[in-house]
Structure 1
Amino acid sequence: MPGTRLIELPLAKIQAYAAELEYSHLITLMVEEWIRNLSAGINADVLPKEYVLVETGQSLQLAGGQIVMARRETVWLSCTSSASGTLSYLGRSDLLLTTDAVLPLTIGHWATAAAAPNATHIGAASTSAVLTSPAPLGHTLVAFHGLILSAAQTKRDHDAVAEASRLHAKKQAEQQTMHNAIQDLVAPLHTATRRISTHQPDWVGTGLFEACKVIGEYLQIGIQPVKRATAQMSMGYMLKLIAQSSHMQLREVALRGSWWTQDNGPLLAFVLDGDQKPVALLPKTERTYELVNPRVGTATTVTSEVAATLSPIAYTFYKSFSQRTLRPLDVLRFGFHKSSRDVRTVLLVSLIITLVGLLTPIVTGIAFNQFIPAGDTRSLIAMGVALVVFALICSALQIARGIAMVRLQSRFDATVQAALWDRLLQLPADFFRRFAAGDLGARAMGISELRRTLSGHTVSTLINGMFSVANLLLLFVYSPTLALVAVALAVFAFCVTLSVSVLTVRSQRALQRMNVKLSGTILQILTGVTKFRVAGAEHFAFGLWAADFGELKQRYYKSRHASNVLTVFNGAFPLIAALGVFGMLAVSGRAALPVGDFLAFNLAFTQFMSAWMQVGSVVVIALSAVSTFEQIQPILETQPEVDETKVDPGDLSGRVEVSHVFFRYSEKTQYILKDISL
């Protein structure tokens, strides 16, 4: 710093100043600062978990391998007996403390008693005591400087080796990535086989990482290796480290009954042998599983015999959201991952149901135009039987569609809800200051509310409305003029439904905000109910709840009023639309339209308007999901507090230190705590 003056003093003169009362405290602080700065350059990465604390003035007897650390300030250790053992600095055999030397020990550093026939007797002195002792300060500091230089040299060599190992591992990872990329490019040329990686990482020989990697490829999760994992770690702890480094969640599940005949998602299981070899269980179809053993590169279909060789305990993985800001489309894509088969089933079955439904008006028209005038009873009976068969087919298809939709909803709810809570737990601390606890809990459970809102009935109705266009095309086949009237009526109904839905969404948005606010208020009241009773302020708590609850009911009434208007309209409009079609037919004077064609047209028109009006009734319910999603949006838009560039610090260790604490209740009272250091 500017103005700083450097004064060179011999160590003997410094030691002489330390004996004088005027300079002793300053010299002590300077020497301790020098010791701390030198020691800080060789801080160990991990502190020992078991050690003995020592203070100045203490004498200890240490067994071989026992560790001693300073409790508070810098202490100077020395071996007090010539028959005693020796101490090693930081537990290293090359940094031994001779019997005639003194070792300064700062907080965060330690000494280990070397293995010896006799116990190691040590004494701990303060810096001021060492400075005023007859022993020359130069000899003491030179010995300590030698230890520090040796430790620094070793640390530099170790860091160089670690950096070289890191670069080598990075190069191997790049080569493996290129190898996998090339195999992926040529995979379409070998569709009969599936590549299973058998590369084993250096840090573990159990194949756990590779089994997790197979499941990660299925779920599109980047499984990251754990640098600090060793083969001595337990399987469960190693799995926990892999999950943490890969930003995913685990859940232990039990393999009971005929579990392999149900779709339970990918699982990590263990073979019942001496080594508990980990394997990946991947869904092959909806009712079959495939066991992948990455160590030998085999894939086997799971049967009852194969299942008997597995441990009854397995693990299921939960994929996390991307660390970036998420949009609604991202959430939908995430929730419906690996669900394309069920989505195709729902759409295909809905199309078939719609096409089968077209047969009813067509068959009715044929019956009234041909079979009834001709008195063809046999054909009428055959047609009736065909209609019954068509109805049974539609019922079976609706059951299949319902099962597929239940699978879709269950998978979406489980994956997205778990990912949402995982993201919530990773958000920065300032995010939680913006919301009350109840408010945040209601927002986090919004995914379940979305699933209930967009239930099977709602989605089925929307899909039926989409495919009802086929009935509209049939109307143009029978009468283009009347079909245009039907289109005009449908457009009018759509405009009315859309207008009411916009008003409903506005009311629902305010209702949703009020609902989460009330949830937070209720939680705060329940949390502080004891304080309310002690203060006799129950009526204030009741008034606080009543104000929010009353406003909630008012907004609910407004929201329901718009929904009731739409319900009345949906109930009355089909009859009005039918009257409009009949009136148009009468006004146009087109009596040439055969009775059968008119009945077929009327049935197709009824089916079309019924599906369209049902869409109008559920569109309000579907649009209410918009306000629910808006409540979840802050969680999805806030980026998690996860930095991929930071290094895993390993197991954290430390202690709480209290230094020179004074406390009293007021300035006029005595100190309860006076200069307490712990």
Structure 2
Amino acid sequence: MRTTSSGSDRPPVAAAWTAQADVAVAAWRPPAGTGTEVSFGEGHVRLTDGDALWVVTDGAVDMFVMEVAEGGPWHYVSRFTPGAVIAAPPSGPAGVPVLRAVLGSRVLRVDAADVAGLLRADVGSGDTGESSGRLAALARGIDAGLDGLLGFVAEKSACGEQVLLTAGSRGELAEGEPGRSAEGLVWVEVLAGRLRVGTPDSGEWLSRGDMFVVTESSTVHGGPSASFTTCSTGDLLADGRLWERLAEVNERLLRMADRVIAAEGERAESRIRAVREMEDTLTDKADRVLQAVLQPAEHVSRSGPVHSEDATEAACRIVADELGIPVLPARGSAAGGKMGPIEAIAVRSRFRIRAVDLDVRWWRTNIGPFVGRRCDSGKPVAFVWRRGRYVAWDPVTGERSPVRDRTAAEFDDTGVLFYPPLPERPVGTGRLILFGLKGSGRDIRNLIAFTLVAVAVSTTVPISTGLILGTLVPYAETNLIVQVSALTLVAALASAVFAVLENLALLRVGGRFEANLQAAVWDRLLRLPAPFFRRYSTGELASAALGVKNIRTVLTNVSYVVLYSSVVAVVNFAVMFWFSVPLALLTGLYVLVGVVFFVVLGARQMKWQTQSLDLEHKLANRVYQRLRGLPKLRVAGAENRAFAAWANEFAQQKELQKRIGRYQNAAATFNAVYPLICVLLTFAVISGPARGTLSMTRFLSFNAALGIVLAAVIQVTNSLSSAFAVIPMFKRMKPLLAELPEASEAHTVPGELTGEIEVNRVTFRYDENSPPVLDNVSLSMRPGEFVAVVGPSGCGKSTLLRLLLGFEHPTSGNVLYDGQDLATLDSTAVRRQCGVVLQQTKPFAGTVFQAITGTLNYSHDDAWAAAELAGIAADIRAMPMGMHTLVSDSGTFSGGQRQRLAIAHALIRRPRILFFDEATSALDNETQRIVTESTQRLNATRVVIAHRLSTVLDADKVVVLAEGRVAECGPPSELLRDSTSLFHQLVRRQMHESEGAMA
């Protein structure tokens, strides 16, 4: 609980200063003849005089904290520009502040007592206006000096709701509750209880009577029964308490700086130890790999205990190794949101996961390796498939035990499956097929083995046929006929059994192929850069991605038929050479003619097949677009025109299908007639030129083998003809597979962002030959700052937002987050730390709870808190189903409610950066106020693109774009004072339009 009250008993000079706070104040300079110029003889000067002030009058100076130890390192603190007034804190136990000159630096040293005397003279002069102006300038200079050192030691404002502190108020902070300045630097004095300032490692506790300072980017935390009062630097100057308090705060700041430096040293040592441990781990892994090659019998590379890795990470590595997925540690990835450890690892390593419920007797059904947990302890376990059952692999001890009926109850009935991604490079057809077959090596080997055995057994058919009809029947060898017939029947049954085994292996290969490839293709599609989606329609991409199922169906059927029939044809063709070489060569000619016919026919069919598939995708996309735009078609009365356009394209597709059907009819006719022609030609040759060369037995065996070969060849050619349909499908997928993902291993994970953004001389054009949409745009945003981007339509506002989000890349210049170039960062990791609401954003389908939380592990309390921030909680409570109300495309939710749901989804993760592109256009003024206050309490950097200019009057900075350039930039109050400014004209024009609409 907290209460605040504004103070009204401020000194006259302080009140005058407050009145002038919104007016531009010149930098403070000591009166002529006061102070001495500092000589930077060695390029720097130590601040060791606690009774002096250093005033930067020209150029700039950098402050460092230098460790007192001989040759100790320098730690950069801040840069000070003209007007900054730096008070010299006494030296701490480990460091002393140092100013280093920058080109053009000029610094004056002034005694604090002289400045105090000047202020007393100002107050006594009676000229309140002039003296208050000098007082305001000095106060701002002192604030700038304190802000530099404070930024080095203070705990940065975390994301989340915070108490906003303003000068001249009283308040309370609950234990652990953070508070920060609403604007500028604010002094906090403890009235009762305790307050914590600084980080948990370097901070200090303030007791009753102690004072400290906070800014928009630093916080103070409540302790037990904490109450306080606040004031400004001008207030302390006016009542004469500043110099004593300034020395107290500077001393505390330097003590905290010493602890910050010590903590940073410990973190550096920890990083060095971590690097050494990683190198040792890599060396050990290399040793085990070499040992596995040189001494396979002693290979124990992954069965030993795991000590250097987290248990969950180790379990993920075991499962990932089974699938060939490289795993990166999630530590320091700043994934954002409430991610579980497995999800954080998957995000960092760029692969997809899916939670599954395990059925009864799940350990006897192979669904792939997965990570599970023990019921009693919750410890992670890796499950891998071995010899017809799952094996539980403990990542800590390395123990492996098969899962049986009596042990299955020890494990939770949920698991997490991993989906391997496609390589982060262009993927061709061959690599795509090999990727889909990953993990199917054993089934493919079994398939080939079963096929060979089945074919070998099937060769008994022509041999036994010739033997029975050519030898045993003429000689009436009844017993032998029965025996050979029984042997042939056994061979046929054996062949049928092996055919069943072949089909089972083929089903497993096909299922795994589709599961691997379909997930990987969708994953690739989701990772592609935004410009890719401008080149292709939604229907085309959906058809290409879903084509995996059709490809799997065709390839599975074709591969089995081609494999089996080819082996049958080759084996029987070889048998024919044993009976008669000339006739076998004649059979080879038959096969060649049939193959040439089907290649020519298939090539012509593929031409029409490609056109038909292109038209089918185009037609599917048109239907999708027209269904989505059906209300607009009805409003425009254009249903008949839309139907006519669809009918024309549909008729074209049917005409192409007719042409394809003609080729298929020709192929069916050829298949029916050609074997008879080949048999008749063979009979003619045997009865003519080859008369007497074959006995009855050999002739009958050869004839049976000829029939088998011709049938097998026809099956192969038919299958290959149907496989031609796959080629256009692969062509449709080629752009999707050739495009590189937006983020790759070459991009750096940014770590946790503070909210500092800089746009540095950015020029952007959508096409090389088009004029620039943005031209040499530069602007900066401090952490926690509210920046509004306004301007007339077409000036580049939305394009600027796309650049900030990484959807587009600048033609020249760069976008920096915390000083890191966005082009070198993992842009998805950056966006994961941002809350984004675009103009056409729609909430997720599902329940209200799902629309707010998305896919992350948030509780109902988190969802309600986000709904409160977005001003939609009251609406949700009024719904009969509350958070379980379904969100659909129907008219259940108004435009304003949908917009607030999208805002709640953006706010639930308490992001450090918020991007709103006309995100509150459908909200009324009261809801707009709630959203504005909520986002202000989050202390996030807010970038708002607005057309309704009344929503940005509270912004810290307004950036006015015109014709792709920054026309104006500054606080809205200053821009509005200038009647010639573009912002002033835009506001005035919008006010006139509103008045006209009301009239």
TM alignment of 1:481-496, pairs within 5 A: 481-496=582-597
Cα 1:86–1:548 shift into 2, 3 Å: same
1:288 alignment counterpart: 389
C-alpha distance in 2, partners of 1:526/1:95? 63
TM alignment of 1:59-458, pairs within 5 A: 59-71=170-182, 73-79=183-189, 82-83=191-192, 85-86=194-195, 88-89=197-198, 94-95=203-204, 103-113=212-222, 115-116=223-224, 118-123=225-230, 125=232, 129-130=234-235, 133-135=238-240, 149-187=254-292, 189-191=295-297, 194-195=300-301, 196-201=303-308, 204=310, 207-228=311-332, 237-273=340-376, 275-285=377-387, 287-455=388-556, 457-458=557-558
1:474 alignment counterpart: 575
- Give the aligned CA root-mean-square deviation in angstroms: 3.5
What amino acid is the match of 1:461? Answer: V
Q: Which residue among 565, 568, 571 is the counterpart of 1:465? A: 565
Cα 1:86–1:396 shift into 2, 3 Å: closer
Instruction: Report whether the alignment pairs 1:531 with 2:638.
Output: no
What amino acid is the match of 1:107? Answer: E
**Worse-superposed segment, 626-635 or 50-59:** 50-59
TM alignment of 1:629-644, pairs within 5 A: 629-644=730-745
C-alpha distance in 2, partners of 1:671/1:89? 50
2:977 alignment counterpart: none
Cα 1:216–1:367 shift into 2, 3 Å: same
Q: Displacement, 1:27?
A: 7.4
Instruction: Report whether the alignment pairs 1:585 with 2:683.
Output: no
Structure 1 residues 374-420: Cα deviation after superposition (integer angstroms, max 9, x where no partner): 11122112222222222211111111101000000111111221222
Structure 1 residues 205-239: Cα deviation after superposition (integer angstroms, max 9, x where no partner): xx222222222222222233232599xx99x8222
Structure 1 residues 552-571: Cα deviation after superposition (integer angstroms, max 9, x where no partner): 33333333333332232222
Q: Displacement, 1:516?
A: 2.3
Q: Which residue among 652, 667, 670 is the counterpart of 2:989? A: 667
Q: Displacement, 1:666?
A: 7.8
**Worse-superposed segment, 85-94 or 366-375:** 85-94
Is the partner of 2:186 in helix, strand or coil?
Answer: strand
What amino acid is the match of 1:330? Answer: R
Q: Displacement, 1:283?
A: 0.8
**Worse-superposed segment, 50-59 or 477-486:** 50-59
Cα 1:257–1:151 shift into 2, 3 Å: same
Q: Which has the higher strand share?
A: 2
C-alpha distance in 2, partners of 1:155/1:435? 53
Is the partner of 2:989 in helix, strand or coil?
Answer: coil
Structure 1 residues 465-515: Cα deviation after superposition (integer angstroms, max 9, x where no partner): 321111111122112111111111111111111112122222222322222
Cα 1:5–1:346 shift into 2, 3 Å: closer
Check conservation: 2:179, 2:221, Cα contact below 8 A. yes
Q: Displacement, 1:121?
A: 2.0
Cα 1:119–1:18 shift into 2, 3 Å: farther
C-alpha distance in 2, partners of 1:184/1:143? 61
C-alpha distance in 2, partners of 1:541/1:20? 76
Q: Displacement, 1:431?
A: 2.1
What amino acid is the match of 1:367? Answer: I
Instruction: Report whether the alignment pairs 1:508 with 2:609.
Output: yes
Cα 1:62–1:463 shift into 2, 3 Å: same
Structure 1 residues 412-458: Cα deviation after superposition (integer angstroms, max 9, x where no partner): 11122122222222222222222222222222212112112223x32
Cα 1:434–1:387 shift into 2, 3 Å: same
Is the partner of 2:725 in helix, strand or coil?
Answer: helix
C-alpha distance in 1, partners of 2:559/2:314? 40
Is the partner of 1:646 in helix, strand or coil?
Answer: coil
Check conservation: 1:19, 1:132, Cα contact below 8 A. no
1:676 alignment counterpart: none
What amino acid is the match of 2:228? Answer: H
Q: Which has the higher helix share?
A: 1
Q: Displacement, 1:592?
A: 3.5
C-alpha distance in 2, partners of 1:668/1:270? 61
C-alpha distance in 2, partners of 1:543/1:57? 72
Which one scores higher on RCO, CA 8 angstroms, separation ≥ 6? 1
C-alpha distance in 2, partners of 1:564/1:131? 98
Check conservation: 2:327, 2:345, Cα contact below 8 A. yes
Check conservation: 1:362, 1:600, Cα contact below 8 A. yes
Is the partner of 1:667 in helix, strand or coil?
Answer: helix
Number of aligned residues:
658
Cα 1:595–1:201 shift into 2, 3 Å: same
Is the partner of 1:304 in helix, strand or coil?
Answer: coil
Is the partner of 1:325 in helix, strand or coil?
Answer: coil
Is the partner of 1:122 in helix, strand or coil?
Answer: strand
Q: Displacement, 1:335?
A: 2.0
C-alpha distance in 1, partners of 2:251/2:618? 66
Structure 1 residues 559-609: Cα deviation after superposition (integer angstroms, max 9, x where no partner): 333333223222221122222222233341523422222221111111111
C-alpha distance in 2, partners of 1:140/1:491? 101
C-alpha distance in 2, partners of 1:45/1:515? 56
C-alpha distance in 1, partners of 2:654/2:150? 67
Cα 1:362–1:432 shift into 2, 3 Å: same
What amino acid is the match of 1:120? Answer: S
What amino acid is the match of 1:257? Answer: V
TM-score, scaled relative to structure 2: 0.60
What amino acid is the match of 1:414? Answer: A
What amino acid is the match of 2:561? Answer: T
Is the partner of 1:445 in helix, strand or coil?
Answer: helix
Check conservation: 2:194, 2:206, Cα contact below 8 A. no
Check conservation: 2:157, 2:216, Cα contact below 8 A. no
Check conservation: 1:281, 1:292, Cα contact below 8 A. yes
What amino acid is the match of 2:176? Answer: G
Check conservation: 2:154, 2:203, Cα contact below 8 A. no
Cα 1:309–1:177 shift into 2, 3 Å: same
What fraction of aligned residue pairs are identical, expressed as a percent? 23
Q: Displacement, 1:109?
A: 1.9
Gaps of 5+ in 1: 674-678
Check conservation: 1:74, 1:107, Cα contact below 8 A. yes
TM-score, scaled relative to structure 1: 0.87
2:699 alignment counterpart: 598
C-alpha distance in 1, partners of 2:678/2:412? 65
